[in-house]
């Protein structure tokens, strides 16, 4: 099958033929119709997961999110059957080798759910990792209606879901984004938009909320010291899927919280897909590319400015 893959350690991703995966116990083989791109795909392509203790097996197929049609199921899988239209995610598990930027993808059954008829494949493929991350970073701070939450990195794939899901709970959202993102973020439910290129985010937020906001969700960057903790009031909460300072640093700032590792399991994906199909959750797909241009899409994610989800169609 055709797949965007890294043939061997240290090599660049290339589009070439690799063996079609064979379903094993607890897995679902799908014919991929669309695959959503995520920053983790660039980390996988660069071999970075090996440094986190996750060994690779080559060829390594890139991509983790997908929507498609069930081609075969392994033993023990009874919630989907051949011919079902589904969406899902390749959960991170060693050795890293399965991916979704391919004609066929092998997904763990735990992360596969039926696609509602009202949701097209492209939109469904944009949901899994970003949508689940959004649900799980919000759950981590238990926001109450009327509270104010700063979302740093709100203009990206995860942020577009976080802003909507917080606003739907009656939470006031201060979102970061460049000037060009302001209208879109307000349309998604942000109360205020702070331009992170116009000065320190914490200072800008304190100018709006002198007592500080109730919580911060961080969706940008790898450097914990760059997280705008100064925006949050004493006793406030912090979560994020990007950099989050350690417990000692948070505690010294009078804050609690920690980082979240997203798990796009089907119990999380199914309600998100239903909400999207019912038009209650906007899925911001900023561009759709053919498999031949998937590497270009990954390059755009790495350099910034994607402005939502990039999806590859097959
Ligand atoms: N741990 C996990 O389970 C998990 C799961 C999902 C995602 N993640 C991580 O979470 C992060 C967000 O993911 P994503 O899919 O939403 O990525 P994304 O689509 O690339 O979004 C990141 C956003 O941050 C914005 N940004 C750039 N510089 C900024 C700054 N100085 N201050 C505030 N915002 C800034 C970018 O805007 P521009 O495009 O305009 O530059 C972009 O919209 C990534 O680091 C990803 O690796 C982790």
pLDDT tens digits, one per residue of 55-101: 999 999 999 999 999 999 999 999 999 999 999 999 999 999 999 99
- How many Å lie between the centroid of ligand 1 and the Cα of residue 77? 34
Q: Please give the pLDDT value at position 161.
A: 97
Percent of the chain at pLDDT > 70 equals 100
Residue with tokens 């909460």, as numbered in its chain: 237
Q: What are phi and psi of 280, to 5 degrees?
A: -90, -10
With the most atoms of ligand 1 within 8 angstroms of its CB, the residue from 43, 52, 204, 220 to mutate is 220
Confidence band (pLDDT; 50, 70, 90) for 143? very high
Q: Please give the pLDDT value at position 308.
A: 84
- How many Å lie between the centroid of ligand 1 and the Cα of residue 242? 7
Provide the mean pLDDT of the chain: 97
- How many Å lie between the centroid of ligand 1 and the Cα of residue 20? 32
Point out the ligand 1 atom lying closest to the alpha carbon of residue 197: 31
- What is the average per-residue pLDDT within 170-198? 97
Question: Are the C-beta atoms of 100 and 35 separated by less than 8 Å?
Answer: yes
- How many Å lie between the centroid of ligand 1 and the Cα of residue 158? 7
Q: Selecting from 3.40.50.10470, 3.40.50.720, 3.90.550.10, 3.40.30.10, what CATH number does the domain 141-259 have?
A: 3.40.50.720
Q: Selecting from 3.30.420.10, 3.40.1110.10, 3.90.180.10, 3.30.930.10, what CATH number does the domain 2-129+263-313 have?
A: 3.90.180.10
* Pairing status of strand 60-61 against strand 27-36: unpaired
> Is residue 159 over pLDDT 80?
yes
> Is residue 307 over pLDDT 80?
no
Question: Are the C-beta atoms of 219 and 159 separated by less than 8 Å?
Answer: yes
Confidence band (pLDDT; 50, 70, 90) for 129? very high
Residue 163: is it exposed, middle or buried by C-beta count within 10 angstroms (0-12/13-18/19+)? Answer: buried
Confidence band (pLDDT; 50, 70, 90) for 269? very high
Give Cα 10 to chain centroid, integer Å.
Answer: 25
> Is residue 305 over pLDDT 80?
no
pLDDT tens for 199-227 read: 999 999 999 999 999 999 999 999 999 99
Residue with tokens 């989907």, as numbered in its chain: 80
Point out the ligand 1 atom lying closest to the alpha carbon of residue 160: 16
Q: Please give the pLDDT value at position 116.
A: 98
Q: How far apart are CA 148 and CA 250, in angstroms?
A: 19
- What is the average per-residue pLDDT within 235-260? 98
Identical fold between 2-129+263-313 and 141-259: no
Q: Tell me which H or E stretch contains 136.
A: helix 128-139
> Is residue 304 over pLDDT 90?
no
Q: Please give the pLDDT value at position 105.
A: 98
Q: Looking at the DSSP assignment, which residues form a beta bridge with residue 11?
A: none
Q: Where are the beta strands (DSSP E) in 156-228?
A: 172-176, 192-194, 213-218
- What is the average per-residue pLDDT within 179-203? 97
With the most atoms of ligand 1 within 8 angstroms of its CB, the residue from 155, 199, 217, 309 to mutate is 155
State the Rg of the chain over Cα.
19
Which residues line ligand 1 at a C-beta cut-off of 6 Å? 38-40, 129-130, 133, 152-153, 155-159, 176, 178, 196, 219-220, 241-242, 261-262, 301, 304-306
- How many Å lie between the centroid of ligand 1 and the Cα of residue 252? 26
Q: Please give the pLDDT value at position 140.
A: 98
What are the sequence ranges of the domains in the chain?
Answer: 2-129+263-313, 141-259
- How many Å lie between the centroid of ligand 1 and the Cα of residue 81? 35
Confidence band (pLDDT; 50, 70, 90) for 30? very high
307 sits in the region (left: phi over 0; alpha: psi -120 to 50; else beta) called left
Q: Please give the pLDDT value at position 306.
A: 79
Contacts of 251 (CB under 8 A, 6+ apart): none
Confidence band (pLDDT; 50, 70, 90) for 132? very high
Determine which residue's CA is closest to atom 48 belonging to ligand 1.
241
pLDDT tens for 31-52 read: 999 999 999 999 999 999 999 8
- How many Å lie between the centroid of ligand 1 and the Cα of residue 112? 25
Q: Where are the beta strands (DSSP E) in the chain?
A: 2-6, 14-17, 27-36, 60-61, 65-73, 85-89, 104-108, 112-114, 148-152, 172-176, 192-194, 213-218, 232-240, 256-259, 285-290, 309-313
């Amino acid at each position: 099958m055709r797949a965007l893959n890294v043939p061997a350690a240290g090599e660049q991703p290339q589009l070439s033929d690799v063996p079609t995966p064979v379903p094993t116990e607890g897995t679902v083989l799908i014919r991929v119709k669309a695959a959503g791109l995520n920053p983790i795909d660039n980390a996988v392509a660069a071999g970075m997961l090996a440094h986190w203790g996750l060994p690779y097996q080559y060829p390594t197929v890139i991509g983790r999110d997908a929507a498609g049609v069930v081609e075969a199921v392994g033993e023990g899988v009874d919630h989907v059957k051949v011919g079902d239209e589904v969406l899902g995610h390749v959960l991170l598990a060693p050795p890293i080798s399965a991916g979704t930027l391919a004609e066929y993808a092998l997904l763990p059954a735990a992360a596969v759910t039926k696609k509602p008829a009202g949701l097209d494949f492209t939109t469904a493929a944009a949901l899994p990792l970003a949508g689940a991350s959004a649900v799980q970073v919000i759950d981590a701070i238990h926001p109450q209606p009327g509270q104010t939450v700063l979302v740093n990195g709100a203009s990206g794939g995860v942020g577009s879901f976080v802003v909507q899901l917080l606003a739907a709970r009656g939470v006031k959202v201060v979102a970061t984004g460049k000037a060009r993102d302001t209208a879109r973020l307000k349309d998604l439910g942000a109360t205020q938009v702070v331009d992170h290129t116009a000065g320190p985010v914490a200072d800008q937020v304190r100018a709006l909320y002198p007592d500080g906001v109730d919580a911060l969700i961080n969706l940008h960057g790898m450097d914990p010291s760059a997280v705008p903790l100064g925006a949050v009031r004493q006793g406030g909460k912090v979560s994020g899927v990007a950099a989050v300072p350690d417990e000692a640093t948070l505690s010294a700032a009078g804050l609690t919280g920690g980082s979240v590792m997203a798990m796009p399991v089907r119990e999380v994906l199914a309600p998100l897909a239903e909400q999207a199909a019912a038009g209650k959750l906007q899925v911001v797909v900023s561009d759709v590319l053919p498999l031949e241009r998937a590497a270009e899409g990954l390059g755009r994610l790495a350099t910034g400015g994607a402005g939502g989800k990039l999806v590859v169609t097959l």
